[in-house]
Every structure is written in C-alpha cells, then in structure tokens.
Amino acid sequence: MATTTYAALLRGINVGGGRKVPMADLRTLLEGLGHGGVRTYLQSGNAVFSSDRGDEESLAGELSAALAERFGLTVDVLVRDHAYLRAVLDACPFPAGELEGRQLHATYFSAPVGPDRFASVDRSAFLPEEFRLGDRVLYLYAPDGLGRSRLAEVLSKPRLTKGVVATTRNWNTAAKLVELTGG
C-alpha cells in the first residue's frame, strides 16, 4: 500500500480551560501508533502524519482511542488526506483570495450532510454572513470573524450537527494543512 499524508483534526481540545493535549505529546502519540512525518500545527489540535495502512475512518478511530487511553479524554477526530483538503480549498464558493483568513471558515464533517439539515436556518436573517455546503464541508463567510458570528452559533446547534462529527478551522489553517500534507 502506498504511503499517504493525512491531517488529523481534533475537535475541542486546547480551547478554554480544560481538555489539554500538548502538541509534543500528540506528536509522540502519533509516532507511537507507527505513523511517520509527524508534525503539528498551532495548539488547537491539528496534526499531519504519513501512513501506509488504514483509511481515514480507521485512522481517526485509532487516534481517538489512543487519546482516550493516554489523556482520559473523549476526543472526536477527523482524518483527511491531502487530495480531499486540496479539493475543499479549490471548491470554495467564496472569494477566498479577497478575504482575511478570519472571515472564512471550513467546518469539516465526518459524513456528507445535505441541505435539508439546514433548511430551518433563515439565511437572510444573518446577512452579510453566509454559508454553503460542499463535500463533507460547510463553508462559512463571517465578515466579523467566528467569535462574533451569530450564524456560526446557530449552525453549531446540536440539532443541526446531530449524528456527525463537526470541527471548524479558519481559512488560514485550512490552507496551511493543504500545504503541510502536500509533501
């Protein structure tokens, strides 16, 4: 099997008070699982690694189990390969090149989500904020940033994310993960 480079996106760690996973420990954990080329990006749960076994789902499950064993935390993990991450950037429906990284976000999902899931959201009530769906991703344009986005708050409601793992990265991070997984 060929070696593939992946990004692991850990949901909800190192934000706020608890759920700390030091990035050096995350690197060691990934290396201990037999992965190569391990690097982390920022402190918010982004890691890059190479593997010649498994698929995105099995690799995510393996890492999640290892995190539970090592840190005693239940951490949702998404693993995505370079080709997928590149396709997300290429398919962006917003003018990414004209926006600041804090204005554009990608929410990655563990499975496809359809527009019916978001049919109850009155999009016009949140303008100029907007969102669009892609392949297992939601693109969010929030001109004042995620922290001030009323739309982001609504989109993250449990009833809209039920049954899927969802984790969000700003556009700068999404682009950096493409670069880091690109070899």
Same domain, 163 and 123: yes
User: Residue 158 has what pLDDT?
Assistant: 86
Sequence length of the chain is 183
User: Residue 68 has what pLDDT?
Assistant: 94
Same domain, 65 and 139: no
Domain boundary among 24, 52, 83: 83
Per-residue pLDDT of the chain (183 residues; tens, 9 = 90+): 689 999 999 987 866 666 788 889 999 999 999 999 999 998 778 999 999 988 999 999 999 999 999 988 899 999 999 999 999 999 999 999 999 989 999 999 999 999 999 999 999 999 999 999 999 999 999 999 998 999 999 999 888 889 999 999 999 999 999 999 996
User: Residue 13 has what pLDDT?
Assistant: 80
What tokens were used for 12?
């909800």
- Angle (CA) 48-23-167 rounded to 5° is 60
User: Residue 31 has what pLDDT?
Assistant: 97
User: Residue 56 has what pLDDT?
Assistant: 95
Domain boundary among 83, 106, 131: 83
**Helices 82-90 and 171-181, packing angle to 10 deg:** 140
Helix, strand or coil, per DSSP, at residue 79: strand
Cα separation of 49 and 181, whole Å? 8
Q: What is the pTM of this model?
A: 0.93
Same domain, 73 and 105: no
Query: Residue 35 sits in a domain of what CATH number?
Result: 3.30.70.1280
How many structural domains are present in the chain?
A: 2
Domain range for 101 is: 87-181
